[in-house]
């Protein structure tokens, strides 16, 4: 008989790596002196990085009790997860630790935080003498995020990031005197909508910045800034050598605006710019060449991705890049995209059918792409296959197939384009004609999937047939999203057999009671996102009564407020 305790220490330590800190501690702490020493060794080494953002709330409190503040080098806390308020930041700092106890902390990530919390948190951060990286991810319900110079005056911070999951959040500079010039911040990322006037103010505060990554808009939410449709001017000299600009969707920024902005970046060596634009001058290679020759003499690398909608390709001067830069242009009747090669971005959308405007070239490697999305505009016949044969996607992590026939009609067509073994997240559905290729794909890669989204009821119905149920293994899937009205009670047993380890479930049901048997049958389920018409007429008190009457109250630990027909549940 094999006993776990007979394994050598080295192998047990390797096995511990497959468990999170909480499960490792609860399972093995106190067994005997040997396991206590092994646990201490692994836990001590792992506490250099502590990430609470994906940890279940019940585990959060247990981990806080045994973590050692003096060993922590990187800390991630989140106030929200899946729209449920879990309030980790105040809990951590008000109950378990004071900031001055984290004396060796170097990297701090605070997610789901609003402007007021940031401002109140700032004075305390000055206690962290070793802090070099600070990241704030703002709530999407916040409409404006104000940056005071005090953010920039944290003397040890070299890297500063302001992020959001989406939504229209304005990032506004505080222009009140006195103007403080900051020399120590070298890297700044602002993934909020930053208007160009605020960018000017930012550059005044940070003239020695080395790297800047921003999401730029022409519209302003700052009442002290006033802009019209005239070109914007910037004339502040900076030390920036790396610049990344994402143009805010459908912004009114023109090529002339970007040309004026670049006056401040004379020392620029690497320049990346992307966005959905309305000014066709972004597609003019000659204008870009003239701009680089006159304004950016030190530029070594130039990468871009521009998309324009419903514009005749004949009016876009895309061939003007051919003499000096390698580009690819994909176009159909709805959308045209132009980008530099090799492709430099992690996401790509192929709107089928499309034609390649650039001259034919040998097979192109899109190795940087991690997320690939296919969507078909119509069923018209095209020479699509010849275009796709010139592409190779070896590192796709997330694949989205919404409508692909007749352009990709078999699994063989898809495997010639994509290395299937790397796919971990799959989003499929909508088109009935694609069901067979979707089933074939699931048979091939289901054993490697971490998340699955299905948008077609007929496809989901096919999974219950005996042949498919036996040939498709979904044991590794932790996150499942079903984007159609469902739950046939007779499939509950098969559902649990096919997806036995699902932890997060998103579903649409006709009635709330349709979901009860499924929730009670999935042992590992910890989060549920539910869409139901009944929720439109229900308040929180009504949902609480339903939880009690359906005997779900013993299962549900926390829930969000219902918004229209949607609600989120945390399960025990």
Residue 238: is its pLDDT beyond 80?
yes
The total number of structural domains that make up the chain: 1
pLDDT of residue 23: 72
Sign, Cα dihedral of 141, 142, 144, 147: negative
pLDDT of residue 223: 40
| Closest to 274 in 3D by CA, of 316, 242, 304 | 304
Q: Is 283 helix (H, G, I), strand (E, B) or coil?
A: helix
CB atoms within 10 A of CB 292: 17
The one-character DSSP state at 489 is: G
- Give the tokens for residue 214: 């921003």
pLDDT band at 381 (very low <50, low <70, confident <90, very high): very low
pLDDT of residue 302: 95
Mean pLDDT lowest for which of 17-21, 388-392, 398-402?
A: 17-21
Instruction: Give the tens place of pLDDT for each residue, 34-91.
Output: 887 887 777 665 557 788 887 766 678 877 877 778 878 889 998 876 656 678 888 8
Q: What phi and psi values does residue 169 have, to the nearest 5 degrees? A: -110, 125
* 69, HSE (Cβ side, Cα atoms, 13 Å): 13
pLDDT of residue 227: 40
Q: Is 28 helix (H, G, I), strand (E, B) or coil?
A: helix
Q: Is position 298 within any domain?
A: no
Q: Is position 22 within any domain?
A: yes
Residue 567: is its pLDDT beyond 90?
no
CA distance 154 to 182: 9
Q: Is position 6 within any domain?
A: yes
E-assigned strands of 423-468? 425-428, 451-454
Helix or strand (DSSP H, E) at 330: strand 327-331
pLDDT of residue 346: 94
Q: How far is CA 148 from CA 180, 198, 250, 354, in A?
A: 10, 12, 28, 47
Q: Is position 37 within any domain?
A: yes
pLDDT of residue 232: 43
Q: Is position 439 within any domain?
A: no
Contact 364, 393 (CB under 8 A): no
543 Cβ partners below 8 Å, 6+ apart? 535, 559, 562, 567
Q: What phi and psi values does residue 433 have, to the nearest 5 degrees? A: -70, -15
pLDDT of residue 165: 67
pLDDT band at 457 (very low <50, low <70, confident <90, very high): confident
Tokens 């989204």 correspond to 453
Indicate whether this model's pTM tops 0.85: no
Tokens 């359906």 correspond to 550
Greater pLDDT, 122 or 511: 511
Q: Which residues pair with 243 in a beta bridge?
A: 212, 271
317 Cβ partners below 8 Å, 6+ apart? 280, 283, 284, 285, 286
Average pLDDT over residues 499-514: 86
56 Cβ partners below 8 Å, 6+ apart? 526, 570
Output the DSSP codes for 420-453. GGG--EEEE-S-GGGHHHHHHHHHHHGGG-SEEE
pLDDT band at 416 (very low <50, low <70, confident <90, very high): confident
pLDDT above 90 as % of the chain:
19
Q: Is position 128 within any domain?
A: no
Q: Is position 10 within any domain?
A: yes
Q: By 3-state DSSP, what share of the chain in percent is helix, strand and coil, each rounded to 5?
A: 35, 25, 40
Instruction: Give the tens place of pLDDT for each residue, 150-179.
Output: 566 677 888 988 887 665 566 666 666 666
Q: Which residues pair with 164 in a beta bridge?
A: 138
Q: Is position 31 within any domain?
A: yes
Give the domain extent around 30. Answer: 1-46
CA distance 368 to 570: 36
Output the DSSP codes for 333-376. SSEEEEEESS---SEEEEEES-EE-SPP-SPEE-TT--EEEEEE
CA distance 265 to 235: 9
* 231, HSE (Cβ side, Cα atoms, 13 Å): 11
- Give the tokens for residue 64: 């806080």
């Amino acid at each position: 008989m094999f006993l776990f305790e007979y394994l050598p220490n080295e192998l047990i330590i390797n096995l511990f790596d497959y468990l999170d800190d909480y499960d490792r501690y609860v399972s093995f702490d106190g067994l005997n002196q040997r396991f206590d020493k092994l646990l201490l060794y692994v836990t001590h080494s792992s506490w250099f990085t502590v990430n609470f953002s994906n940890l279940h709330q019940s585990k959060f409190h247990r981990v806080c009790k045994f973590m050692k503040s003096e060993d922590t080098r990187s800390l991630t806390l989140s106030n929200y997860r899946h729209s449920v308020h879990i309030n980790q930041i105040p809990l951590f700092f008000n109950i378990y630790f004071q900031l001055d106890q984290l004396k060796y902390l170097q990297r701090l990530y605070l997610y789901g935080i609003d402007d007021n919390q940031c401002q109140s948190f700032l004075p305390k951060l000055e206690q962290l003498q070793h802090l070099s990286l600070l990241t704030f991810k703002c709530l999407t319900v916040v409409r404006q995020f104000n940056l005071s110079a005090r953010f920039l005056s944290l003397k040890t911070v070299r890297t500063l990031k302001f992020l959001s999951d989406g939504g229209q959040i304005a990032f506004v500079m505080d222009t009140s005197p006195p103007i403080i010039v900051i020399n120590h911040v070298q890297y700044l990322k602002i993934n909020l909508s930053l208007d160009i006037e605020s960018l000017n103010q930012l550059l005044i505060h940070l003239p020695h910045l080395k790297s800047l990554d921003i999401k730029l808009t022409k519209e302003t939410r700052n009442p002290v800034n006033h802009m019209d449709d005239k070109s914007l001017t910037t004339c502040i000299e900076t030390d920036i050598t790396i610049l990344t600009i994402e143009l805010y969707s459908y912004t009114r920024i023109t090529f002339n605006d970007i040309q004026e902005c670049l006056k401040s970046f004379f020392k620029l060596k690497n320049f990346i710019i992307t966005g959905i634009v309305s000014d066709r001058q972004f597609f003019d290679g000659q204008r870009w060449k003239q701009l680089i020759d006159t304004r950016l003499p030190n530029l070594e690398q130039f990468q871009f991705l521009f998309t324009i909608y419903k514009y005749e390709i004949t009016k876009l001067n895309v061939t003007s890049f051919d003499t000096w830069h390698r580009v690819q242009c994909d176009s159909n009747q709805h959308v045209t995209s132009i980008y530099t090669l090799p492709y430099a971005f992690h996401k790509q959308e192929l709107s089928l059918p499309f034609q390649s405007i650039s001259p034919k070239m040998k097979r192109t490697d899109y190795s940087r792409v991690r997320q690939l999305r296919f969507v078909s505009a119509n069923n018209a016949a095209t020479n699509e296959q010849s275009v796709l044969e010139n592409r190779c996607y070896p590192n796709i992590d997330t694949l989205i197939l919404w409508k692909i026939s007749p352009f990709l009609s078999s699994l063989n067509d898809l495997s010639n384009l994509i290395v299937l073994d790397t796919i971990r997240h799959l989003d499929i559905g909508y088109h009935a004609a694609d069901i067979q290729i979707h089933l074939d794909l699931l048979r091939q890669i289901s054993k490697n999937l971490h998340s699955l989204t299905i948008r077609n009821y007929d496809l989901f119905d096919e999974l219950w047939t005996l042949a498919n149920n036996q040939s498709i293994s979904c044991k590794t899937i932790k996150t499942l999203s079903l984007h159609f009205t469902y739950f046939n009670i007779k499939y509950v047993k098969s559902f649990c057999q096919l997806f036995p380890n699902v932890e997060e479930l998103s579903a649409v049901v006709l009635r709330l009671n349709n979901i009860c048997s499924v929730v009670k049958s999935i042992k590992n389920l910890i989060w549920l996102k539910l869409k139901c018409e009944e929720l439109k007429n229900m308040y929180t008190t009504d949902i609480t009564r339903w939880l009690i009457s359906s005997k779900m109250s013993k299962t549900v630990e926390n829930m969000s407020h219902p918004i229209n027909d949607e609600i989120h549940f945390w399960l025990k």
